[in-house]
Amino acid sequence: MEDVPQSARRVTLGIGDDAAVWRPSRSHLSVITSDALIDGVHFLSGASAPRAIGHRAMASNLSDIAAMGARPVLATVALGVAPGTSEEWILECYRGMAALAARQRTRIVGGDIVRAPVLTLALTLVGEVAPSRLKRRDGGKPGDVVAVSGPLGASRAGLEIIRSSPEIEASARAAALAAYEKPEPRVSEGRWLAASRNVHAMMDSSDGLSTDLARLAAASGCGATISHVPVHPAAEAVARAAGADPNGYALDGGEDFELIAAVGPRAFAHLSRHFERRFGRPLLAVGQLDAEPGLRLRERGAERKLAPGGYDHLNAESGLPETVGSFSSS
Amino acid sequence: MEDVPQSARRVTLGIGDDAAVWRPSRSHLSVITSDALIDGVHFLSGASAPRAIGHRAMASNLSDIAAMGARPVLATVALGVAPGTSEEWILECYRGMAALAARQRTRIVGGDIVRAPVLTLALTLVGEVAPSRLKRRDGGKPGDVVAVSGPLGASRAGLEIIRSSPEIEASARAAALAAYEKPEPRVSEGRWLAASRNVHAMMDSSDGLSTDLARLAAASGCGATISHVPVHPAAEAVARAAGADPNGYALDGGEDFELIAAVGPRAFAHLSRHFERRFGRPLLAVGQLDAEPGLRLRERGAERKLAPGGYDHLNAESGLPETVGSFSSS
């Protein structure tokens, strides 16, 4: 055989980022990401429409592709169908996935449907990016401005509405539910940011800003200080009605699928201005990367240590030991 | 943005084959396949070692890549961990996947670990192939010799041993258990066959020869007649001990992960000779493709219609309607 596999060398980025990367040709990198979603753990089939569940599963994976600066190319879906699941439920869920995929010019190219005790969705997405534009999470430098692509906490607020129906005004309620059920992955924003050399590192905020920024900082050999928490207005309203801390929703809530970027400090103002011109909303500075390890929150002039409080599928929730966690790329 | 996504045009093969295909560059096609395996449906965590379960899951996906004529490049794994699953179980299962992947020069590049009510494995494999070597299942022609890369039924025999412990001699028992727990995907064989233009169509026999040959024939707009059932000696022994029909094991058992190829009739003898020289065992002719639709079995001079009797995840087992089945690519 003349074409001896060189896969080990050609995989340029493996475990530990939003997606793995390999080099199918000289001019392109392909990226791949997989997520599994289980009824009762990652979604509630009784509380959301199947179309919204499909949408969220697709959004979560598209967000990982966006966080690499890549454009999504295709998806596969492995669907575990629980006893009693109707054909209509499956088709609606699939429509939710396919509609969002199509809007992002992506196709579901195949997959698998099997019986399972509870509804299970396992999606894999592949994307492509020019090698010079790939954004990893380990490129941040001390002094970089940490910015997010939008305000945070609205998805957590939407979950609260589903769980406890707090009394709030209709527009905040609608915004929070939309953020939870129909999050919009920042694919265009990711590609736009990836075109700038001053964006040194990028990832998405799927597990919450505190958790994901701690990961980005650690991967970059830095620490980080958060000095401004960009709370979504709907998160503010719902948290107050539920007697919770709005900052907690924004810092730890997760599933907002906004992008977190580490931007060279001298380039930030210019980049943010152009980002707002392009997308109609500002790139929000939330703090900076520091040489000192760890995560800090600066509030009213005082600084305190911040423990990552977002959703950690591996440790906090499953009780699995840390060594297993290193297996995950999400 | 200068690089407007062209994903829809670049996906050259979507739903309906062993794997989807896209074109990352002019000289290569990438292929992708996803399979989900659920405890109690596709494997029995109480009856097999975790390493064997990981091995089988990887083998099943590698077999799909092999059936395209591609070489595997990378894998992602989404693992749903049930309550009470030990870290050692997970690590052993992972070792089973990783060891087989490594032997096929493939790397697990990432994935996801989540909580689930029962053990769930969702694997995605990506492979690459030169465009001229890609083997689909729809290229068969009437008159083509249908050949398989090895004898069939041993995996079904291994399952029978686990289920009912029939009394048989040790060597047949060991061979059947190995076929069930440690099937060897035919990756080298697939790439070798893919290099021949006389191999018109190829797929793997994961759901049983009767089911998968019916699919290959239908995709090729043909029917097929089986005139020789290559029963594995271990399947013969176990079936007799269990009071079952050995031909049934070979035709309907599935999970043998042998390749089924449609070969131009004038090239078959030559190809089979070289296959045996290369792999130390013959390429076995089992019948031929016909212009007449449907599947037939010729035994002792008589011909009868054959209904696909292999494992159909979508219809026979799940009770899902046919329309959902078209979503699968396995």
The region of weakest confidence among A67-71, B53-57, B235-239, B322-326 is: B322-326
Instruction: Point out the residue among B24, B81, B320 whose CB comes nearest to the CB of A87.
Output: B320
State the average pLDDT over residues B248-252: 94
Instruction: Tell me which of B9, B33, B45, B112 to substitute to probe the interface with A (most A C-beta atoms closer than 10 Å).
Output: B112
Residue A66: what pLDDT? 94
Is residue A2 one of the residues assigned to a domain? no
Residue A25: what pLDDT? 61
> Which residues from A are below 8 Å from B111, CB to CB?
34, 327-329
pLDDT > 70? residue B3: no
DSSP H or E segment with residue B87:
helix B87-103
Residue A326: what pLDDT? 31
Beta strand extents in B42-119 (DSSP E only): 71-81, 107-115
Closest approach of chain A CAs to the CA of B102, in angstroms?
A: 9
Clarify whether residues B49 and B166 are in a common domain: no
A14 vs B41: which has the higher pLDDT: B41
Count the domains in chain B.
2
Clarify whether residues B150 and B234 are in a common domain: yes
Clarify whether residues A80 and A54 are in a common domain: yes
Task: Please check whether residue A35 is in contact with residue A330, taking contact to mean a CB–CB distance below 8 angstroms.
Answer: yes
State the average pLDDT over residues B137-159: 96
Is residue A5 one of the residues assigned to a domain? no
> Which residues from B are below 8 Å from A64, CB to CB?
none
Instruction: Tell me which of A112, A137, A203 to substitute to probe the interface with B (most B C-beta atoms closer than 10 Å).
Output: A112
Instruction: Point out the residue among A20, A26, A192 whose CB comes nearest to the CB of B110.
Output: A20
Instruction: Point out the residue among A26, A76, A81 whose CB comes nearest to the CB of B318.
Output: A81
Clarify whether residues A42 and A88 are in a common domain: yes
Task: Please check whether residue B44 is in contact with residue B162, taking contact to mean a CB–CB distance below 8 angstroms.
Answer: yes
Per-position pLDDT tens, chain A of length 330: 333 333 333 444 444 455 455 556 667 778 888 888 999 888 888 888 999 999 999 999 999 999 999 999 888 899 999 998 999 999 999 999 999 999 998 888 887 888 899 899 999 999 888 888 989 899 999 999 999 999 999 999 999 998 888 889 999 999 999 999 999 999 999 999 999 999 999 999 988 999 999 999 999 999 999 999 999 999 999 999 999 999 999 999 988 999 999 999 999 999 999 999 999 999 999 999 999 999 999 988 899 998 877 654 444 333 333 333 333 333
Q: What is the CATH number of the domain that holds A196?
A: 3.90.650.10
The complex scores an ipTM of 0.79
The answer to whether the Cβ–Cβ distance between B25 and A24 falls below 8 Å is yes
pLDDT tens digits, B60-101: 999 999 999 999 988 889 999 999 899 999 999 999 999 999
Task: Please check whether residue A44 is in contact with residue A159, taking contact to mean a CB–CB distance below 8 angstroms.
Answer: no
Is residue A326 one of the residues assigned to a domain? no
Tell which of A112, A132, A152 closes a domain: A132
d(CA A215, CA B187): 38
Is residue A327 one of the residues assigned to a domain? no
Residue A166: what pLDDT? 86
Which residue in B247, B258, B59 sits closest to B146, CA to CA?
A: B258
The answer to whether the Cβ–Cβ distance between A110 and B11 falls below 8 Å is no
Counting beta carbons within 10 angstroms of the beta carbon of residue B99, is it exposed (0 to 12), middle (13 to 18) or buried (19 or more)? Answer: middle
Locate all alpha helices (DSSP H) within A207-319, ordered by sequence: 209-219, 233-241, 246-252, 268-279
Clarify whether residues A149 and A260 are in a common domain: yes
Is residue A323 one of the residues assigned to a domain? no
DSSP H or E segment with residue B261:
strand B259-263
A315 vs B224: which has the higher pLDDT: B224
Clarify whether residues A112 and A256 are in a common domain: no
Nearest CA in chain B to A23: B24
pLDDT > 50? residue B318: no
pLDDT tens digits, B191-202: 999 999 999 999
Residue B123: what pLDDT? 94
Closest approach of chain B CAs to the CA of A303, in angstroms?
A: 34
Clarify whether residues A202 and A313 are in a common domain: yes
d(CA A316, CA A310): 9
For the record, the structure tokens of B279 come out as: 């792999």
pLDDT > 80? residue B324: no
Please, what is the average pLDDT of chain B?
Answer: 85
Instruction: Point out the residue among B15, B34, B71 whose CB comes nearest to the CB of A78.
Output: B34
Inter-chain CB pairs, A–B, below 8 Å: 274
Most confident of A305-309, B101-105, B205-209, B226-230: B226-230
pLDDT > 80? residue B251: yes
Is residue B319 one of the residues assigned to a domain? no
d(CA B282, CA A197): 57
Is residue B328 one of the residues assigned to a domain? no
Backbone φ, ψ for residue B326 (5° rounding)? -65, -10
Residue A324: what pLDDT? 33
State the average pLDDT over residues B167-189: 94
Is residue A53 one of the residues assigned to a domain? yes
Which residue in B61, B250, B56 sits closest to B157, CA to CA?
A: B250
d(CA B239, CA B154): 10
Supply the range of the domain harboring residue B49: 7-132
> Which residues from A are below 8 Å from B83, CB to CB?
none
- Tokens 């031929």, residue located: B288
Tell which of A89, A114, A132 closes a domain: A132
Q: What is the CATH number of the domain that holds B98?
A: 3.30.1330.10
Clarify whether residues A145 and A265 are in a common domain: yes
Clarify whether residues A61 and A124 are in a common domain: yes
Residue B4: what pLDDT? 29
Clarify whether residues A142 and A288 are in a common domain: yes
Q: In what order do the strands lie in the sheet with A259-263?
A: A199-204, A259-263, A145-148, A284-290, A223-226, A294-299, A302-305
Clarify whether residues B145 and B35 are in a common domain: no
The answer to whether the Cβ–Cβ distance between A74 and B20 falls below 8 Å is yes
Closest approach of chain A CAs to the CA of B195, in angstroms?
A: 9
> Which residues from B are below 8 Å from A80, CB to CB?
36, 38, 120
Nearest CA in chain A to B30: A24
DSSP H or E segment with residue B145:
strand B145-148
Residue A18: what pLDDT? 54
Clarify whether residues B56 and B23 are in a common domain: yes
Tell which of A132, A156, A179 closes a domain: A132
State the average pLDDT over residues B128-144: 91
State the average pLDDT over residues B132-139: 90
